[in-house]
Amino acid sequence: MRLGAAQKEQFERDGYLFFPGLFTPAETRTLTSAVPELYSRREAYNVREKGKDAVRTSFAAHLYSEPFARLARHPRMIEPVEDLLGEELYMHQFKINGKAAFDGDVWQWHQDYGTWLNDDLMPAERAMNVAIFLDDVSEFNGPLMFIPGSHKRGVVDARHDQTTTSYPLWTIGNELIAQLVDRAGGKNGGIVSPKGPAGSMILFHGCLVHASGSNLSPWNRVSVYLSLCAISNHIRRFKRPEYIAHRDFTPIETLPDDCLLKDYRVDLPWKNGMPASALETSTDALKLAA
């Protein structure tokens, strides 16, 4: 799926693109049916909500689950980012965020590239997220919120919040958020929240400031996020474990467009268990050949 000139201009202006209902119900069911078993696993890659059993985020399913391995190579998710970055991509991060009914906690205001820079030493902003809704998303079940155009500010000041939720995040202070919202239009569009049916897709810039509230509704809001990075822009430090920040910089090769409905062969390197090396970390920067 390739982007047209108008879509590229919109992305440059707003920092995101929204594609309601891009994946069919049959395609989406292929993914949703696999989630309960993945969430049931007591593994490091399943991070649970603070003080609860509900999964907050599940990392690296594309390395051991066939449906998600195929999604990780889906042309509708990969090709638009290739168009915007003008380069082949590798998978920097793959996660399935839970946002469970009644128990899904907040994701504070942040930029993803802020974390990729501070924790992973990703050199530039040549990476972004693609998200697909596995559930219908409404105003009630903790939808994403964006500040349109905030990506144009580049990396903004943030602090490392390791206490508010179960997952540490480089978060942005309230005063700066208020300023960004005001500049984006205040009450007239300074915050937007794409909502739509399961199978909808959002593509958003790594510097776009975003957040989501807690889910107090009786409806889950599970979403899959592919964090895709230009191969020349790969991370330079392995401070976070490999199941969170991947170290395989091989370019992604897409599958045919019907890959969620047919059993195309995919490699599953963690099918028999996550290797011990996936838990290893280092604060040393990579020494790259000149």
Q: Kindly state the DSSP code that residue 196 receives in the 8-state scheme.
A: B
Give the whole-angstrom CA distance, residue 182 versus residue 176: 10
Per-residue model confidence (pLDDT) at position 290: 47
Give the whole-angstrom CA distance, residue 253 versus residue 289: 25
Percent above pLDDT 90 for the chain: 80
Answer whether residue 166 shows pLDDT above 70. no
User: Per-residue pLDDT tens for 203-261?
Assistant: 999 999 999 999 999 999 999 999 999 999 999 999 999 999 999 999 999 999 999 99
Answer whether residue 289 shows pLDDT above 70. no
Q: Which class for 289: exposed (0-12), middle (13-18), buried (19 or more C-beta within 10 A)?
A: exposed
Cβ of 248: how many Cβ atoms within 10 Å?
10
Residue whose token pair is 């963690």 = 270
Q: Domains of the chain (ranges plus CATH)?
A: 5-279 (2.60.120.620)
Helix (H, G, I), strand (E, B) or coil at 153: helix
Per-residue model confidence (pLDDT) at position 55: 87
CB 225 within 8 A of CB 88: no
Mean pLDDT over 35-51 rounds to: 90
Q: Kindly state the DSSP code that residue 276 receives in the 8-state scheme.
A: G
List the structure tokens of 18. 């929204």
List the structure tokens of 139. 């105003």
Residue whose token pair is 């999964």 = 55
Per-residue model confidence (pLDDT) at position 105: 84
Answer whether residue 35 shows pLDDT above 90. yes
User: Per-residue pLDDT tens for 72-114?
Assistant: 999 999 999 999 999 999 999 999 999 889 988 888 899 999 8
Give the whole-angstrom CA distance, residue 98 versus residue 180: 28
At 54, the pLDDT band (50, 70, 90 cuts) reads: confident
Please give the single-letter amino acid code of residue 161: D
Helix (H, G, I), strand (E, B) or coil at 281: coil
Answer whether residue 176 shows pLDDT above 60. yes
CA dihedral 149, 154, 156, 158 (to 10 degrees): 100
CB 209 within 8 A of CB 177: yes
List the structure tokens of 150. 């905030």
Percent above pLDDT 70 for the chain: 99
Taking the CA atoms of 57, 105, 29 and 229 in sequence, report the sign of the dihedral they define.
negative
